[in-house]
Structures are given as structure tokens and as C-alpha cells.
A and B are shown apart, each in its own frame.
Chain A
Amino acid sequence: MSEPSNLKHIDRAQLAGLVEALAGAGTAVIAPALRHDARGTVGYRTVTTMADVVLDKRPDNALKSFFLPPTEPLLHYERQGKDVTLTPVDPSIGPRVVLGALPCDAAGLPIVDRVMDWDYRDEPWFGRRDATTVIALACDKADSACFCTGVGLAPDGASGSDLLLVPAGDGFLVEVYSDKGQALVDLHPAFFGEPRDQEQAQAFRAGLGAALSHADGLDPAAARAWIEGHFIDPAWPALALSCHGCGACAMVCPTCHCFDIVDEQEGVAKGTRRRNQDYCQYGLFTLHGAGHNPRGDQGARIRQRVSHKFAIYPDRFDAILCTGCGRCSRACAAGIDMFEVVERLAGLQADIDEETPTGGDL
């Protein structure tokens, strides 16, 4: 894990002050907060005061949605007489700060950056990325669904974060990991003090591993090896039996980034072209106009999702498309447990390795 370029301390009062200052200066502050809905859920949303922020609960929705929204207009079209006018929607937005991101959510951003800047640079995505400073908070909220450590991340990892907060004394140790982060500190010096209580921060970090012990020794590489050798395998349809084929897992995933482009008619010969998040577990995802569907059943679809995350993406972009946040497992109505899936596939590979001993010339 890369080392912080600078250390600071921010106490809770200062943090509150920072939020107000940012909001006051027209910077959108996005943080985990009560959504004031019927079921009292917590999710990332824009806040204007620290009072709304909830730092001790995991947000239900993925931070991703603030970079790749469930729906966003790309352009408006209108036909008058013979000619058509297209009005693109300007993707650029004002400055934003994400406060209290889960490290696994933050870590998802650089992973998705790779595909968004692959064959062409996705302007809406990077427009929002550039405009946003991410302040993550070292996480002690791990539950049985979590396995960030199993995919090479850590509850106190700083990947994707410009600043990382670690609880220390009356506030947080602030670790600076990027120029963007430093810039924020420099812009609001009043709210950042010199680092202190670092040993408490150390102690906090030391305590985080326990809740994740089940993920120790998870071997995604083995899983990848098995996947690459078993495109056709009874394990896939078996895995899919209980799957409802909905998009819940993809929608809450910090790294799932598929989208669909639709034109919505809004009157006579006019409308809006929109980009909507899409999800591979749903039959229509690959349904061809001609009626053929290369992923005709749920087995093929679930294979796609798992393969994409643990074999295809690593192969193409050299990164696992999963941060072990466990949201998909929590969201799944059929109780499909991503950690268990990876563990199982890796296990299958292990069996194979035992059967075929290596070394020893003939």
C-alpha cells in the first residue's frame, strides 16, 4: 500500500466546520446519511451539514452512482420540418467532495477508471471523477459479507481516496494520498491541525483484521484459473438455480459499470437520449434484435458476471473487478454469497491441482 504524502489531524468540530465551509462555498458534499425514507436507510447523498452525516453505518447504495448514475441524459433531439437539432448535455459539473467513503467504495473508482479510459475516454465519468475529491474513512464495519482483504484491498486501504481518515483521539488522523487531497487541505487550513494520537490510529487499524478473518486465504487467482478452464461446466447452472435474474447486485456494486443507451420520446419528433445503468443478470441484456440470445439462461449470465469480475477484467485491465464490499451478497434476495462463490471456484481449482501433481521428471 502506497505511503501517505502528508499527515494531518482533524477533530470532529473541525470536520463539521469543513462540511459547512465546503457547502457554503458551493462544493457539493456527498456523505453517508439517513435518507429520511420509510425504512430509515442510510445511503450516500448530498449533505449540507455534518449533523446529517452517519459515519458508523454502511451506506446501502454504491458510491459509483455519483459517477455513473442509474440514468443520465446525453443529448436532446428535436425534429422540425426537415431538419433535426441535437443538443448535447454538458457533462461538466462543479466541485464535489465525498466524505466518509468506505475504502471499498473508493477503491472501486480507480478500478473502473481503467475501462472508462480504454478505447476512448468517457467524458461524463472523468468529468465527475476530476471534479470530485474522495475522503475515505478507515472501516470497522465489516460483516460476514465483506471480503476486501480477500481481493487484495484493506479496510484501511487508501486506493481511490485522496484523503483517508483514521479514527484517532477526539477526531481522525488525516492521511494525504494525492495532490487533489493536499489541495483540499491547503484550501481549508483552518480545519486541519498537526497529526496527533497516531498510536491510537495504529491501534484502531490493528483491530480491523479480526472481523475479516474469514476472508484470509481467499485465493481469487485460483478462482480465475478455474474459470479460464471451465467455460462449460455444471457448476455454473448449479450456481444460477436460485438466482432471480434481477439487477440488484449490479446496481449496488461499486465496480459494475455496464450501461444501455435509450431514446425516450418526449412529444412529437423530440426526446432525450439517455445513458442508463444496465445489468448482465437480466435476460434482455444480451437479447439480439433478431431474437437470438447468446446468454440464453441464468447459468450463462451468472458465469458472465463472475468471469468478468475475476477473469476477464483482470486479464484485460490487470485488476479484479471486485472490491469485496459484499453489497451484492447483502442485496441478493436469493442469498447468493459472492465470497462463497469465489471460495468455491478456488476450491474446485485446488482439487484439480491436487489431482495433477507438478514437478518430477519422467
Chain B
Amino acid sequence: MNALRDLARQLLEAGEVKVVIGYEDSRRGVRPAFVSDPADVDRLIFDARCVHNLATYLNPRRGHVKRLGRAAVVVKGCDARAVAGLLREQQIAREDFVLIGVRCGGVFDTPDATGPLDAASIAPRCHGCTVREPSLPEHVVGDLPPEPPVGRDLDAEVARLMAMPAAERLAFWNRELAKCVRCYACRQVCPLCVCERCIVDKTQPRWIEPSAHTRGNLAWHLTRAQHLAGRCSGCSECERACPEGIPIHLLNHFLAGVVRDAFDHVVGDDPDAPAPVGAFRKDDAEEFIV
């Protein structure tokens, strides 16, 4: 924690950055913090409640954050994947920001969690984590905490769904998507939803109906998932942000599996790694095509 604060202080005092985007405690759990004054760096903390993916504040849509000037962002290994995605798609330039990597022992599902980090409370994204030691950031602080407990495995949830008869699966998703009120929290919180004008807001023509009926909701969520296929960094912030508790991230996770199996690609934190989007292999499987 001190290493984090010291580094933040140095960066601010040296004028290397104008703001440090990290985490702070509050009466209702941990939340994102924007520290511009070296005197305030002691607000910064990092612990297992720091579930937010702060990479989203590097998203070029965040004009009001951009205006603060050069930022240093605190990222976990998994968050760095999203940063890599933004770099890969030329949305941000590496020299325009600083990354403060934090060694991570797993995070809770919610930022106001209390009690021990256990199988029940740990975020699914931590399952089989390979990036507890971030590699992309130029600074990495903190000691590597012990192995996190094994929690929910989304592969298992996907498998459970796929095991259902199609009709049941359809019912499941209809039930979930019927709750969607189209607040677009899923999109707004997503570090990789970078579109200047989201397709759902295009009116000429209007491919995706903006109304919160199953027609519009299905079109929206199918499209959203496809647009993130091969790009989604797996932070599942979309699901955390959803006020209706829709398991949105299952769709992303499912497609990540498809991309892995069919396109032999896993989203990592190497900005120079080729993306499967807009790419192909001549021998891509096509057993579904007659």
C-alpha cells in the first residue's frame, strides 16, 4: 500500500502525471478515486475489494477524464488486458499514460464485500488467473498475495447451460433478457466499448430496436456479445454494473471459449498480439457450412 502511495506521490510531484486513478475506501465500500494532489495520495488503497476495472477510464469516450491530463492508472493483471485491447485497436497511445500494476490475490464479486475472500465471495474472473503479476505496466507494486481460493468457474456455468435442452436455454435467456431496461450500464462501464456512436444509437436505419422488449433486448445483447468476441478482456464489469442482475458476462465468456476453440485465440495483455477480429485462417473449421 505504501509502495503504491509513494509511487503515486512521486509521479504527481515529478509532474509525470496530472492525476492518479486508483481506488479509495468509502462508507459504502471501495470505489474509484481520482487523485491530483500529492497531498491526497494517502486516500489510495488496494485490497481484495478493488474489483473495478479502472482501464475503462482510459477509454477515449471519457472526455472528462482525458481533460485532467496525463493519467497514471492502477491496474490488476486482468485489467491490463483491457488496456492492451485499447492499445491494440489504436484507441490510446502508450506514451499518453502510466500504468501502476498491482500484484493481486483475487478480488471479491462486489466492492462492498466483507468477510473472508472465499469460494463463495471471489469474483469468477479470478478462476485460474494467470496474470496475478501484471506484465504490461511499467511499474508494479505490492507483494504477491497468496494463491486465491478457487471460486465459481464460468466454464462450468456455460457447460451447465449447454447441457440443457435448447428450449430450456431459450426460456432461461428470455427470462433474463426480459429484465433488461436498456440502461446500457453494461456498455458504459465496458473498457472496450469504444464506439463513438454505438450501433444501438444508429437510427438510419435502426438495426437494433431501442425499446426494452425481448426483440430489442435480444438483438442488443447478441450484438454486444459479438462485438466483444475476441476483444473482451473478461473483467465482467458489464455484469456487475447491471442493475437487474442479468448474467451478461456469460455471453462474453461463452464466445471467448468459441474464439479460443475455433480461432485458437485467447485475449492476453500483449498489445502487439494479433487480434482474431478482422482476421481469418484459410483452414478455419466450417463444419456448419453445407
Residue among B29, B189, B250 with the highest chain A CB neighbour number at 10 A: B189
Q: Which residues of A contact B246 (CB under 8 A)?
A: 37-38
Q: Are A60 and B243 in contact (CB under 8 A)?
A: yes
Residues facing A in B154-192 (CB within 8 A) are 172, 175-176, 179, 181-185, 187-189
Contacts of B175 in A (CB 8 A): 35-37
Interface residues in A284-300 (C-beta closer than 8 Å to B):
284, 297-299
* B binding-site residues for A, Cβ under 8 Å: 26-34, 52, 56-57, 63-65, 68, 111, 172, 175-176, 179, 181-185, 187-189, 201, 205-206, 209-213, 216, 237, 240-247, 250
Contact B244 A274 (CB under 8 A): no
CB distance from A292 to the nearest CB of B (A): 15
A32 to chain B, nearest CB (A): 14
* Chain A contacts for B185, CB-based, 8 A: 244, 246-248, 331, 333
Contact status B184-A297, CB under 8 Å: no
Who on chain B is nearest to A250 by CB? B183
- Who on chain A is nearest to B180 by CB? A70
Residue on B nearest A39 in the bound complex, by CB:
B245
Residues in A neighbouring B33, C-beta threshold 8 A: 242
Least CB separation from B54: chain A residue: A242
**Residues of chain B within 8 A of A43, CB atoms compared:** 179, 244
Number of A-B residue pairs having CB atoms within 8 Å of each other in the complex: 133
Which A residues are in CB contact (< 8 Å) with B188? Answer: 244-246, 282
Do residues A337 and B189 form an inter-chain contact, with CB atoms below 8 A? no
A237 to B28, CA, bound (A): 21
Closest Cβ neighbor of A302 among chain B residues? B64
Bound CA–CA A247/B237 (angstroms): 15
Query: 3 nearest interchain CB pairs?
Result: A335-B31, A247-B183, A333-B241
A252 part of interface (Cβ distance < 8 Å)? yes
Question: Does B212 lie within 8 Å of A71, measured CB to CB?
Answer: yes
- Which of A36, A70, A282 has the most chain B CB atoms closer than 10 A to its own CB? A70
Query: Knowing A242-B32, A264-B206 touch, does A333 contact B211 (C-beta < 8 A)?
Result: no
The complex places the Cα of A37 from the Cα of B213 at a distance, in Å, of: 17
A251 pairs with B243, CB closer than 8 A: yes
The reply on A86 being an interface residue by CB < 8 A is: no
Q: For A265, list chain B residues within 8 Å (CB).
A: 205-206
Q: In the bound complex, what is the Cα–Cα distance between A336 and B241 (angstroms)?
A: 12
If the complex has contacts A38-B247, A60-B243, A248-B241, are A337 and B183 also in contact, measured as CB distance less than 8 A?
no
Indicate if the CB atoms of B184 and A246 lie closer than 8 Å. Answer: yes
| A273 CB to nearest B CB, Å | 11
Say whether A246 contacts B241, CB under 8 Å.
yes
Instruction: Give Cα A297 to B176, complex, Å.
Output: 32
A37 vs chain B, min Cβ distance (A): 6
Q: With A244-B56, A276-B210, A335-B31 as given contacts, are A70 and B181 in contact (CB-CB < 8 Å)?
A: yes
